[in-house]
Amino acid sequence: MSMLYLDNAATTRVRPEVLDAMMPYLTRWYGNPSSHHTVGEAAADALADARRRVARVLALRAGDIVFTSGGTEADNLAIKGIAIAAAMRREDRRAHVVTTPIEHESVLESVDYLERVHGFAATRVPVDEHARVTTDAVALSLRDDTALVSIGYANNEVGTVQDAAALAAVVRDRRIPFHLDAVQAAGWLTLSADELGYDAISLAGHKLGAPKGTGVLGVRGRIPLEPLLHGGGQERGRRSGTEDVAGAVGFATALELAEAERDEASARVSVIRDRFIARVLERVPSARLTGDPVHRLAGTASFTFAGTSGEAVLLELERRGIVSSSGSACAAGSDEPSHVLVAMGITPEVAQTAVRFTFPRRLDAPLDAVADAVEASVAAVCEPGR
């Protein structure tokens, strides 16, 4: 039986163009970019070119690009690195950070670390029932000692998109660094620093068609950044360790391809998404759309199905050849209700019925058969009387 993979927010297939671009730096020009010989210099040239290419998409300088092992490391480096660097300039070495309760675990756990280990204060700005945060609420959270504001551009579970430019403007008016977690937004929304006004941005290659273990933190050179990894001083001293040249080349290639296709893909997939959502809501009485009905990623449709178990629905869907998920793939082994849905005001009981469908950028056919499979799967596990 063929499988239809609709869990692209968790990870995407590596694109053939990306593999082709990486191969020379895995086979022929595999040198250490810090080595002063022909093979090493070829690797260094490829790394510098990848850095320039990523910077061009982000409207940053090449020196602002730090290659990382993925979005989690990029978030950790941004939040801990910027906040700790700011605190070190204060006599008491303490400060304040702002985020929201719906962020990715890498953001929330980094903020928790700053509280537990470094004595930071933290404000988690509440969101509305659609997972949106307002500029007024963020403005009210800011303090004289606020070292950083970190907010996700698009939520990884429900697909809600924040008004990143407006949020950045509020924070920038107070001369506070603004970090944007754009891991899910990349390939669907603009990433331009000129348009969005961020000071730091996190990206993950495996959401774009690059391999897992590749990522980027873009951080403006004027922003002090305390490194998490110490050693040989690679990445301008901000992330020591021998660079993954092939991974950097693959990331740059995937990002350029996604950016070139972004407008067309977003418009095309949005139409398919809206038809799919409407069909599920029409045919499944217990279905409720989660996330903002308007401000949402083109590739995300997420629901709760009261009276079911989300995991049971997923098993039924997989029996019918459809692979999807109950939410984030990053809370390894957790059976707790989604913190995102609970923060939106959904009860823990209903939150555990969540199912998320996330689509590839190359999707070009209606998903009516998937909606029919959702109807059949929910009916198969629904509690009697629902």
pLDDT above 90 for 322: yes
Q: Which of 139, 289, 306, 330 is catalytic?
A: 330
Any catalytic annotation for residue 382? Answer: no
Distances (CA, A) of 23 to 29, 44, 65, 141, 236: 9, 15, 22, 48, 26
pLDDT at 91: 76
Average the pLDDT over each of 51-65, 334-348, 356-370 and give the range with the smallest value: 334-348
- Range list for CATH 3.40.640.10 in the chain: 16-257
Would the pLDDT of 272 be above 90? Answer: yes
The domain made up of 16-257 is a member of CATH 3.30.830.10? no
User: Is pLDDT above 50 for 185?
Assistant: yes
Confidence of residue 332 (pLDDT cuts 50, 70, 90): very low
3-state secondary structure of 135: helix
- The predicted model gives 208-235 an average pLDDT of 97
Kindly report, as residue ranges, where domains of CATH 3.90.1150.10 are found in the chain. 4-10+263-381
Q: Is the pLDDT of residue 329 over 90?
A: no
How much is the average pLDDT of 256-275?
Answer: 98
Residue 146 token pair: 């606020």
Angstrom distance (rounded) from CA 337 to CA 329: 13
Q: Each residue of 70-100: pLDDT tens digit?
A: 999 999 999 999 999 999 988 777 899 999 9
Full-model pTM? 0.96
pLDDT band at 383, cuts 50/70/90?
A: low
Cβ neighbours of residue 285 closer than 8 Å, sequence gap 6 or more: none
CATH class of the domain defined by 4-10+263-381: alpha beta
Q: Is the pLDDT of residue 255 over 50?
A: yes
Residue 213 CA from chain centroid, whole number: 14
pLDDT for res 386:
46
Average pLDDT, the chain: 95
